[in-house]
Structure 1
Amino acid sequence: MSLKALIITSALLIFFTCGICSAEDFTPFKGIVTSDGIHIRSDSTVSSPVICDAGKGDSLEVLAELYEWYKVRVPGDAPSFVRKDLIAKEAGSSAEIIKERINIRLEPNESSPIIGRAIKGEVVNIVADAGAWYKIKPVTKSFGWIHKRFVQKDNSPGPAEPKPLPQPSEKEIRKELSGTPEGPGENSVSVEGIVRPQGIFFNRKTTHKIVDRSGKEYFLRCDKQTLNQFNNYRARITGTLRTLPGYAYPLIEVKKIEYLE
Protein backbone atom coordinates (compact mmCIF):
# COMPACT_ATOMS: atom_id res chain seq x y z
CA MET A 1 0.00 0.00 0.00
CA SER A 2 1.36 3.46 -0.96
CA LEU A 3 1.98 6.11 1.68
CA LYS A 4 -0.85 8.27 0.27
CA ALA A 5 -3.36 5.38 0.44
CA LEU A 6 -2.23 4.57 3.98
CA ILE A 7 -2.79 8.17 5.11
CA ILE A 8 -6.28 8.28 3.56
CA THR A 9 -7.25 4.93 5.09
CA SER A 10 -6.04 6.03 8.54
CA ALA A 11 -7.91 9.32 8.29
CA LEU A 12 -11.16 7.56 7.36
CA LEU A 13 -10.73 5.07 10.20
CA ILE A 14 -10.26 7.90 12.73
CA PHE A 15 -13.24 9.78 11.29
CA PHE A 16 -15.65 6.87 11.57
CA THR A 17 -14.31 5.74 14.95
CA CYS A 18 -14.87 9.22 16.40
CA GLY A 19 -18.39 9.25 14.96
CA ILE A 20 -19.22 5.95 16.65
CA CYS A 21 -17.78 7.09 19.99
CA SER A 22 -19.73 10.33 19.77
CA ALA A 23 -23.00 8.44 19.18
CA GLU A 24 -22.34 6.12 22.14
CA ASP A 25 -21.62 9.06 24.46
CA PHE A 26 -24.69 11.07 23.45
CA THR A 27 -27.20 11.96 26.18
CA PRO A 28 -30.79 12.62 25.03
CA PHE A 29 -32.20 16.02 25.92
CA LYS A 30 -35.16 18.34 25.43
CA GLY A 31 -34.49 20.77 22.59
CA ILE A 32 -36.10 24.05 21.56
CA VAL A 33 -36.43 25.05 17.90
CA THR A 34 -34.87 28.46 17.28
CA SER A 35 -36.51 29.46 13.96
CA ASP A 36 -39.80 29.14 12.09
CA GLY A 37 -40.44 26.81 9.16
CA ILE A 38 -37.71 24.31 10.00
CA HIS A 39 -38.01 20.96 8.22
CA ILE A 40 -38.01 17.66 10.10
CA ARG A 41 -36.86 15.11 7.53
CA SER A 42 -37.05 11.34 7.17
CA ASP A 43 -33.24 11.04 7.04
CA SER A 44 -30.16 13.06 7.91
CA THR A 45 -29.75 14.73 4.50
CA VAL A 46 -31.17 17.90 2.96
CA SER A 47 -32.52 15.88 0.03
CA SER A 48 -34.61 13.46 2.12
CA PRO A 49 -38.42 13.91 2.24
CA VAL A 50 -39.90 16.38 4.71
CA ILE A 51 -42.07 14.82 7.41
CA CYS A 52 -43.35 18.09 8.87
CA ASP A 53 -42.21 21.56 9.89
CA ALA A 54 -41.28 22.83 13.36
CA GLY A 55 -41.70 26.43 14.49
CA LYS A 56 -39.74 28.72 16.75
CA GLY A 57 -40.18 27.73 20.38
CA ASP A 58 -41.40 24.20 19.62
CA SER A 59 -40.11 21.55 22.01
CA LEU A 60 -38.53 18.36 20.62
CA GLU A 61 -37.15 15.24 22.25
CA VAL A 62 -33.60 14.89 20.91
CA LEU A 63 -32.54 11.23 21.01
CA ALA A 64 -29.29 10.97 19.04
CA GLU A 65 -26.96 12.84 16.72
CA LEU A 66 -25.27 12.07 13.43
CA TYR A 67 -22.72 14.62 12.25
CA GLU A 68 -24.69 17.89 11.80
CA TRP A 69 -28.12 16.38 12.48
CA TYR A 70 -30.25 15.47 15.50
CA LYS A 71 -32.58 12.49 15.58
CA VAL A 72 -35.88 13.54 17.21
CA ARG A 73 -39.22 12.03 18.06
CA VAL A 74 -41.72 13.42 15.57
CA PRO A 75 -44.43 15.83 16.81
CA GLY A 76 -47.94 14.57 17.51
CA ASP A 77 -49.36 16.19 14.36
CA ALA A 78 -46.86 14.59 11.94
CA PRO A 79 -48.47 12.57 9.12
CA SER A 80 -48.32 8.80 9.75
CA PHE A 81 -49.98 5.97 7.86
CA VAL A 82 -50.52 2.25 8.46
CA ARG A 83 -52.05 -0.41 6.20
CA LYS A 84 -55.54 -1.45 7.24
CA ASP A 85 -54.77 -5.17 7.05
CA LEU A 86 -52.13 -4.81 9.75
CA ILE A 87 -54.49 -3.55 12.44
CA ALA A 88 -57.83 -4.46 14.04
CA LYS A 89 -60.14 -1.49 14.47
CA GLU A 90 -61.80 -1.17 17.87
CA ALA A 91 -64.50 1.11 19.22
CA GLY A 92 -64.12 4.79 18.41
CA SER A 93 -60.80 5.83 16.87
CA SER A 94 -58.63 3.13 18.46
CA ALA A 95 -57.06 0.16 16.69
CA GLU A 96 -54.69 -2.62 17.73
CA ILE A 97 -51.63 -3.81 15.82
CA ILE A 98 -52.13 -7.49 14.89
CA LYS A 99 -48.76 -8.26 13.29
CA GLU A 100 -45.46 -8.79 15.11
CA ARG A 101 -43.63 -5.77 13.68
CA ILE A 102 -44.98 -3.25 11.20
CA ASN A 103 -43.78 -0.13 9.42
CA ILE A 104 -45.39 3.28 9.85
CA ARG A 105 -45.00 5.37 6.69
CA LEU A 106 -45.02 9.05 5.78
CA GLU A 107 -47.63 8.60 3.04
CA PRO A 108 -50.26 5.91 2.27
CA ASN A 109 -48.14 3.82 -0.10
CA GLU A 110 -45.43 1.15 0.16
CA SER A 111 -42.76 3.31 -1.49
CA SER A 112 -43.12 6.10 1.07
CA PRO A 113 -40.34 6.55 3.68
CA ILE A 114 -40.63 4.56 6.90
CA ILE A 115 -40.81 7.00 9.83
CA GLY A 116 -41.79 4.62 12.62
CA ARG A 117 -42.39 1.05 13.74
CA ALA A 118 -44.99 -0.60 15.96
CA ILE A 119 -45.31 -4.03 17.54
CA LYS A 120 -48.14 -6.49 17.99
CA GLY A 121 -50.60 -5.44 20.70
CA GLU A 122 -49.75 -1.74 20.50
CA VAL A 123 -52.77 0.57 20.27
CA VAL A 124 -52.86 3.34 17.68
CA ASN A 125 -55.26 6.25 17.27
CA ILE A 126 -56.91 6.64 13.86
CA VAL A 127 -57.19 10.16 12.45
CA ALA A 128 -58.67 9.55 9.00
CA ASP A 129 -59.44 6.92 6.35
CA ALA A 130 -57.05 6.80 3.39
CA GLY A 131 -58.24 4.01 1.09
CA ALA A 132 -56.32 0.84 1.98
CA TRP A 133 -54.59 2.79 4.73
CA TYR A 134 -55.40 4.67 7.91
CA LYS A 135 -53.86 7.99 8.85
CA ILE A 136 -52.92 7.69 12.52
CA LYS A 137 -51.33 9.66 15.33
CA PRO A 138 -47.56 9.01 15.33
CA VAL A 139 -46.56 5.99 17.42
CA THR A 140 -43.92 6.46 20.12
CA LYS A 141 -41.22 4.94 17.89
CA SER A 142 -41.61 7.52 15.12
CA PHE A 143 -38.49 9.53 14.36
CA GLY A 144 -37.17 12.26 12.10
CA TRP A 145 -34.06 14.40 11.64
CA ILE A 146 -33.48 18.12 12.12
CA HIS A 147 -30.33 20.15 11.49
CA LYS A 148 -28.42 21.00 14.65
CA ARG A 149 -28.13 24.71 13.96
CA PHE A 150 -31.90 25.12 14.45
CA VAL A 151 -32.06 23.44 17.89
CA GLN A 152 -30.75 24.52 21.27
CA LYS A 153 -30.86 22.68 24.58
CA ASP A 154 -33.75 23.59 26.89
CA ASN A 155 -32.25 24.21 30.32
CA SER A 156 -35.51 25.05 32.07
CA PRO A 157 -36.22 22.82 35.12
CA GLY A 158 -38.57 19.91 34.57
CA PRO A 159 -41.49 18.88 36.81
CA ALA A 160 -40.58 17.54 40.24
CA GLU A 161 -40.64 13.81 40.76
CA PRO A 162 -43.61 12.58 42.82
CA LYS A 163 -42.77 11.51 46.36
CA PRO A 164 -42.07 7.75 46.54
CA LEU A 165 -44.83 5.66 48.12
CA PRO A 166 -44.54 2.34 50.01
CA GLN A 167 -44.02 -0.69 47.77
CA PRO A 168 -45.42 -4.17 48.44
CA SER A 169 -43.12 -7.13 48.68
CA GLU A 170 -43.05 -9.77 45.94
CA LYS A 171 -44.65 -12.27 48.36
CA GLU A 172 -47.63 -9.98 49.00
CA ILE A 173 -48.09 -9.28 45.29
CA ARG A 174 -48.04 -12.96 44.39
CA LYS A 175 -50.51 -13.74 47.16
CA GLU A 176 -52.89 -11.05 45.90
CA LEU A 177 -52.70 -12.26 42.30
CA SER A 178 -53.22 -15.91 43.21
CA GLY A 179 -56.89 -15.30 43.93
CA THR A 180 -59.82 -15.91 41.60
CA PRO A 181 -59.76 -13.68 38.50
CA GLU A 182 -62.31 -10.91 38.42
CA GLY A 183 -65.40 -11.33 36.28
CA PRO A 184 -66.00 -9.27 33.12
CA GLY A 185 -66.27 -5.58 33.93
CA GLU A 186 -65.45 -5.99 37.63
CA ASN A 187 -62.86 -3.60 39.05
CA SER A 188 -62.19 -2.24 35.57
CA VAL A 189 -60.24 1.05 35.61
CA SER A 190 -58.88 3.59 33.17
CA VAL A 191 -55.97 5.78 34.33
CA GLU A 192 -54.26 8.60 32.46
CA GLY A 193 -50.74 9.63 33.39
CA ILE A 194 -47.01 9.28 32.71
CA VAL A 195 -45.63 5.76 32.20
CA ARG A 196 -42.29 5.28 33.94
CA PRO A 197 -39.83 2.41 34.43
CA GLN A 198 -39.92 0.76 37.85
CA GLY A 199 -37.54 -1.42 39.85
CA ILE A 200 -37.55 -5.18 40.50
CA PHE A 201 -41.04 -6.62 40.32
CA PHE A 202 -42.18 -10.20 39.72
CA ASN A 203 -38.51 -11.22 39.45
CA ARG A 204 -38.14 -8.93 36.43
CA LYS A 205 -35.27 -6.45 36.49
CA THR A 206 -37.40 -3.74 34.90
CA THR A 207 -41.13 -3.14 34.87
CA HIS A 208 -43.32 -0.05 34.93
CA LYS A 209 -45.77 2.16 36.75
CA ILE A 210 -48.09 4.99 35.77
CA VAL A 211 -48.28 8.27 37.68
CA ASP A 212 -51.51 10.26 37.34
CA ARG A 213 -51.86 14.04 37.63
CA SER A 214 -52.44 13.88 41.37
CA GLY A 215 -49.18 11.97 41.85
CA LYS A 216 -50.87 8.64 42.61
CA GLU A 217 -48.93 5.67 41.31
CA TYR A 218 -50.03 2.27 40.00
CA PHE A 219 -47.94 -0.79 39.24
CA LEU A 220 -48.49 -2.07 35.70
CA ARG A 221 -48.58 -5.77 34.93
CA CYS A 222 -47.96 -6.18 31.20
CA ASP A 223 -45.34 -7.24 28.67
CA LYS A 224 -42.19 -5.18 29.31
CA GLN A 225 -41.43 -4.65 25.61
CA THR A 226 -44.87 -3.17 25.05
CA LEU A 227 -44.59 -0.84 28.05
CA ASN A 228 -41.12 0.29 26.99
CA GLN A 229 -42.75 1.94 23.96
CA PHE A 230 -44.46 4.38 26.33
CA ASN A 231 -41.58 5.25 28.68
CA ASN A 232 -41.98 8.83 29.98
CA TYR A 233 -45.02 9.51 27.79
CA ARG A 234 -48.62 10.26 28.65
CA ALA A 235 -50.86 7.29 28.14
CA ARG A 236 -54.27 5.92 29.05
CA ILE A 237 -54.07 2.52 30.77
CA THR A 238 -57.19 0.35 30.87
CA GLY A 239 -57.31 -2.87 32.83
CA THR A 240 -58.30 -4.69 36.01
CA LEU A 241 -57.44 -3.06 39.33
CA ARG A 242 -55.93 -5.18 42.08
CA THR A 243 -55.75 -3.45 45.45
CA LEU A 244 -52.96 -4.60 47.75
CA PRO A 245 -54.11 -4.17 51.39
CA GLY A 246 -51.99 -1.81 53.45
CA TYR A 247 -50.14 -0.25 50.53
CA ALA A 248 -50.58 2.94 48.55
CA TYR A 249 -49.65 1.29 45.22
CA PRO A 250 -52.52 -0.63 43.61
CA LEU A 251 -51.79 -2.87 40.64
CA ILE A 252 -53.36 -2.68 37.17
CA GLU A 253 -53.38 -5.80 35.01
CA VAL A 254 -53.15 -4.02 31.67
CA LYS A 255 -55.60 -4.84 28.88
CA LYS A 256 -55.17 -1.77 26.69
CA ILE A 257 -52.68 1.10 26.31
CA GLU A 258 -53.30 4.30 24.36
CA TYR A 259 -50.78 7.04 23.64
CA LEU A 260 -51.95 10.56 24.57
CA GLU A 261 -50.50 13.84 23.35
Structure 2
Amino acid sequence: MKKSLLTCLACFAIATSAHADVLVYGPGGPAPVLKELAAQFEAQKGQKVQIIAGPTPQWINDAKVNADIIFAGNSSMMDGFIKAMPNSLNVKDVEVLNIREAGIVVRKNNPKNIKKFADILKDGIKVMVVDGAGQVGLYEDMALKGANQQNLVKLRENIAYYAPNSKLAVERWNSDESIDALIIWSHWAKVLGDKKAEFVSLKDDAVIYRSAEIAVTTNSQNKAIAQEFVKFVQSKEAQKVWIKWGWESK
Protein backbone atom coordinates (compact mmCIF):
# COMPACT_ATOMS: atom_id res chain seq x y z
CA MET A 1 0.00 0.00 0.00
CA LYS A 2 2.82 2.36 0.97
CA LYS A 3 4.71 1.58 -2.23
CA SER A 4 1.56 2.13 -4.26
CA LEU A 5 0.98 5.49 -2.60
CA LEU A 6 4.55 6.62 -3.30
CA THR A 7 4.20 5.53 -6.91
CA CYS A 8 0.98 7.56 -7.27
CA LEU A 9 2.62 10.62 -5.71
CA ALA A 10 5.57 10.32 -8.09
CA CYS A 11 3.22 10.04 -11.07
CA PHE A 12 1.31 13.09 -9.85
CA ALA A 13 4.53 15.09 -9.49
CA ILE A 14 5.62 14.18 -13.02
CA ALA A 15 2.21 15.03 -14.47
CA THR A 16 2.10 18.35 -12.59
CA SER A 17 5.59 19.24 -13.82
CA ALA A 18 4.66 18.37 -17.39
CA HIS A 19 1.75 20.82 -17.32
CA ALA A 20 3.44 23.58 -15.34
CA ASP A 21 4.13 26.91 -16.98
CA VAL A 22 7.57 27.34 -18.46
CA LEU A 23 8.79 30.58 -16.85
CA VAL A 24 10.91 32.80 -19.09
CA TYR A 25 12.57 35.97 -17.76
CA GLY A 26 14.41 38.79 -19.50
CA PRO A 27 14.45 42.43 -20.66
CA GLY A 28 11.75 44.27 -22.57
CA GLY A 29 13.52 44.44 -25.95
CA PRO A 30 13.06 40.86 -27.24
CA ALA A 31 9.86 40.39 -25.19
CA PRO A 32 7.28 41.21 -27.93
CA VAL A 33 8.80 38.55 -30.19
CA LEU A 34 8.98 35.93 -27.46
CA LYS A 35 5.45 36.64 -26.24
CA GLU A 36 4.04 36.13 -29.73
CA LEU A 37 6.09 32.98 -30.22
CA ALA A 38 5.03 31.69 -26.79
CA ALA A 39 1.39 32.02 -27.84
CA GLN A 40 2.11 30.11 -31.06
CA PHE A 41 4.03 27.44 -29.14
CA GLU A 42 1.13 26.93 -26.72
CA ALA A 43 -1.36 26.69 -29.60
CA GLN A 44 0.75 24.07 -31.36
CA LYS A 45 2.18 22.12 -28.43
CA GLY A 46 -0.37 22.67 -25.68
CA GLN A 47 2.38 23.87 -23.32
CA LYS A 48 2.09 27.21 -21.56
CA VAL A 49 5.14 29.49 -21.75
CA GLN A 50 4.98 32.61 -19.61
CA ILE A 51 7.20 35.57 -20.55
CA ILE A 52 8.07 37.85 -17.63
CA ALA A 53 9.89 40.89 -18.99
CA GLY A 54 11.07 44.32 -17.99
CA PRO A 55 13.96 46.06 -16.22
CA THR A 56 16.13 43.48 -14.44
CA PRO A 57 15.41 44.58 -10.82
CA GLN A 58 11.73 43.80 -11.36
CA TRP A 59 12.25 40.07 -11.94
CA ILE A 60 15.77 38.92 -11.08
CA ASN A 61 14.96 37.70 -7.55
CA ASP A 62 12.03 35.59 -8.77
CA ALA A 63 14.13 34.26 -11.65
CA LYS A 64 16.77 32.99 -9.24
CA VAL A 65 14.09 30.81 -7.66
CA ASN A 66 11.99 29.47 -10.53
CA ALA A 67 13.27 30.49 -13.98
CA ASP A 68 13.27 27.85 -16.70
CA ILE A 69 14.73 30.17 -19.33
CA ILE A 70 16.63 33.47 -19.26
CA PHE A 71 16.94 35.71 -22.33
CA ALA A 72 19.00 38.84 -22.84
CA GLY A 73 19.23 41.78 -25.22
CA ASN A 74 22.92 41.26 -25.94
CA SER A 75 25.98 39.31 -24.84
CA SER A 76 27.13 41.69 -22.11
CA MET A 77 23.66 41.60 -20.57
CA MET A 78 23.65 37.79 -20.58
CA ASP A 79 27.12 37.82 -19.01
CA GLY A 80 25.64 39.95 -16.24
CA PHE A 81 22.79 37.51 -15.71
CA ILE A 82 25.25 34.62 -15.48
CA LYS A 83 27.18 36.49 -12.78
CA ALA A 84 23.95 37.27 -10.91
CA MET A 85 22.68 33.67 -11.20
CA PRO A 86 25.78 31.43 -10.98
CA ASN A 87 23.76 28.51 -9.63
CA SER A 88 21.25 28.65 -12.49
CA LEU A 89 23.07 29.73 -15.64
CA ASN A 90 26.01 28.21 -17.47
CA VAL A 91 27.75 30.10 -20.26
CA LYS A 92 27.97 26.86 -22.27
CA ASP A 93 24.16 26.74 -22.45
CA VAL A 94 23.80 30.21 -24.01
CA GLU A 95 22.46 30.29 -27.57
CA VAL A 96 22.67 33.31 -29.87
CA LEU A 97 19.34 34.38 -31.36
CA ASN A 98 18.53 37.04 -33.94
CA ILE A 99 20.32 40.36 -34.33
CA ARG A 100 19.05 43.90 -34.77
CA GLU A 101 20.62 47.19 -35.69
CA ALA A 102 21.03 50.33 -33.68
CA GLY A 103 19.83 53.45 -35.42
CA ILE A 104 17.87 56.62 -34.82
CA VAL A 105 14.21 56.90 -33.89
CA VAL A 106 12.71 60.21 -35.06
CA ARG A 107 9.30 61.84 -34.83
CA LYS A 108 6.57 60.95 -37.31
CA ASN A 109 7.24 62.42 -40.76
CA ASN A 110 10.83 63.15 -39.66
CA PRO A 111 10.37 66.93 -39.18
CA LYS A 112 14.12 67.55 -38.63
CA ASN A 113 14.99 65.62 -41.81
CA ILE A 114 17.39 63.27 -40.03
CA LYS A 115 18.73 60.79 -42.57
CA LYS A 116 22.24 59.99 -41.34
CA PHE A 117 24.25 60.03 -38.13
CA ALA A 118 25.82 63.40 -38.97
CA ASP A 119 22.35 64.99 -38.90
CA ILE A 120 21.98 64.50 -35.14
CA LEU A 121 25.29 66.32 -34.61
CA LYS A 122 23.90 69.58 -36.00
CA ASP A 123 23.22 72.55 -33.73
CA GLY A 124 19.82 72.54 -32.05
CA ILE A 125 19.10 68.80 -32.35
CA LYS A 126 18.06 67.27 -29.02
CA VAL A 127 19.14 63.65 -28.70
CA MET A 128 18.26 61.00 -26.15
CA VAL A 129 20.49 57.96 -25.55
CA VAL A 130 20.16 54.86 -23.40
CA ASP A 131 23.14 54.51 -21.10
CA GLY A 132 22.34 51.23 -19.36
CA ALA A 133 20.60 47.85 -19.62
CA GLY A 134 22.63 46.43 -22.48
CA GLN A 135 23.29 49.72 -24.26
CA VAL A 136 26.20 51.00 -22.21
CA GLY A 137 28.59 52.71 -24.61
CA LEU A 138 26.38 52.15 -27.65
CA TYR A 139 26.19 55.81 -28.65
CA GLU A 140 29.98 56.09 -28.23
CA ASP A 141 30.55 53.07 -30.48
CA MET A 142 28.31 54.59 -33.14
CA ALA A 143 29.86 58.07 -32.94
CA LEU A 144 33.42 56.74 -33.19
CA LYS A 145 32.85 54.09 -35.84
CA GLY A 146 34.57 56.29 -38.42
CA ALA A 147 37.39 57.12 -35.97
CA ASN A 148 36.31 60.77 -35.87
CA GLN A 149 36.69 62.04 -32.32
CA GLN A 150 34.72 65.23 -33.04
CA ASN A 151 31.60 63.18 -33.72
CA LEU A 152 31.50 62.15 -30.07
CA VAL A 153 32.25 65.71 -28.95
CA LYS A 154 29.34 67.08 -30.98
CA LEU A 155 27.01 64.27 -29.96
CA ARG A 156 27.67 64.86 -26.26
CA GLU A 157 26.78 68.52 -26.74
CA ASN A 158 23.40 67.49 -28.18
CA ILE A 159 22.43 64.78 -25.67
CA ALA A 160 19.45 66.12 -23.75
CA TYR A 161 18.68 63.00 -21.69
CA TYR A 162 20.47 59.82 -20.65
CA ALA A 163 17.84 57.12 -20.10
CA PRO A 164 18.76 54.29 -17.69
CA ASN A 165 16.98 51.70 -19.84
CA SER A 166 14.86 51.38 -22.98
CA LYS A 167 11.55 51.32 -21.12
CA LEU A 168 12.25 54.69 -19.53
CA ALA A 169 13.54 56.02 -22.86
CA VAL A 170 10.23 55.13 -24.50
CA GLU A 171 8.29 56.76 -21.67
CA ARG A 172 10.39 59.93 -22.01
CA TRP A 173 9.91 59.93 -25.79
CA ASN A 174 6.15 59.86 -25.30
CA SER A 175 6.11 62.58 -22.66
CA ASP A 176 8.76 65.00 -23.97
CA GLU A 177 8.18 66.08 -27.56
CA SER A 178 11.19 68.41 -27.47
CA ILE A 179 13.44 65.41 -28.04
CA ASP A 180 14.14 65.10 -31.76
CA ALA A 181 16.05 61.82 -31.95
CA LEU A 182 16.58 58.68 -29.92
CA ILE A 183 19.55 56.35 -30.44
CA ILE A 184 18.16 52.88 -29.81
CA TRP A 185 17.54 49.46 -31.36
CA SER A 186 15.33 49.23 -34.44
CA HIS A 187 12.61 47.15 -32.80
CA TRP A 188 11.69 49.89 -30.34
CA ALA A 189 10.27 51.90 -33.24
CA LYS A 190 7.80 49.03 -33.68
CA VAL A 191 6.87 49.26 -30.02
CA LEU A 192 6.32 53.03 -30.28
CA GLY A 193 4.18 52.59 -33.39
CA ASP A 194 3.87 54.42 -36.69
CA LYS A 195 1.98 57.35 -35.18
CA LYS A 196 4.78 58.27 -32.78
CA ALA A 197 8.00 57.26 -34.44
CA GLU A 198 9.96 56.39 -37.55
CA PHE A 199 13.25 54.52 -37.69
CA VAL A 200 16.26 55.87 -39.57
CA SER A 201 18.54 53.01 -40.59
CA LEU A 202 22.18 54.05 -40.69
CA LYS A 203 23.49 51.01 -42.55
CA ASP A 204 27.27 51.38 -42.94
CA ASP A 205 27.28 54.97 -41.72
CA ALA A 206 27.40 54.22 -38.00
CA VAL A 207 25.38 51.06 -37.57
CA ILE A 208 26.08 48.66 -34.69
CA TYR A 209 24.49 45.19 -34.47
CA ARG A 210 23.87 43.17 -31.34
CA SER A 211 22.01 39.92 -30.76
CA ALA A 212 19.47 38.54 -28.34
CA GLU A 213 20.63 35.49 -26.40
CA ILE A 214 18.81 32.74 -24.51
CA ALA A 215 19.63 29.91 -22.13
CA VAL A 216 17.75 27.15 -20.32
CA THR A 217 18.60 27.24 -16.62
CA THR A 218 20.51 24.33 -15.15
CA ASN A 219 17.89 23.83 -12.43
CA SER A 220 14.79 24.11 -14.63
CA GLN A 221 11.91 21.88 -13.53
CA ASN A 222 10.61 21.82 -17.11
CA LYS A 223 13.87 21.36 -18.99
CA ALA A 224 12.59 19.26 -21.91
CA ILE A 225 9.78 21.70 -22.72
CA ALA A 226 12.07 24.68 -22.15
CA GLN A 227 14.62 23.31 -24.61
CA GLU A 228 11.85 22.66 -27.12
CA PHE A 229 10.72 26.28 -26.84
CA VAL A 230 14.29 27.52 -27.37
CA LYS A 231 14.45 25.49 -30.58
CA PHE A 232 11.05 26.84 -31.61
CA VAL A 233 12.11 30.51 -31.32
CA GLN A 234 15.01 29.75 -33.66
CA SER A 235 12.95 27.86 -36.23
CA LYS A 236 12.31 28.93 -39.79
CA GLU A 237 8.66 29.43 -38.85
CA ALA A 238 9.65 31.85 -36.08
CA GLN A 239 11.64 34.13 -38.39
CA LYS A 240 8.50 35.87 -39.64
CA VAL A 241 7.78 37.04 -36.10
CA TRP A 242 11.33 38.28 -35.56
CA ILE A 243 11.12 40.29 -38.80
CA LYS A 244 7.68 41.64 -37.90
CA TRP A 245 9.12 43.16 -34.72
CA GLY A 246 12.12 44.80 -36.40
CA TRP A 247 14.81 42.13 -36.05
CA GLU A 248 16.96 40.58 -38.78
CA SER A 249 16.07 37.08 -40.02
CA LYS A 250 18.50 34.30 -39.11
Q: TM-score, normalised by structure 2?
A: 0.27
Q: Which has the larger radius of gyration?
A: 1
Q: TM-score, normalised by structure 1?
A: 0.26
Higher helix share: 2
Higher strand share: 1
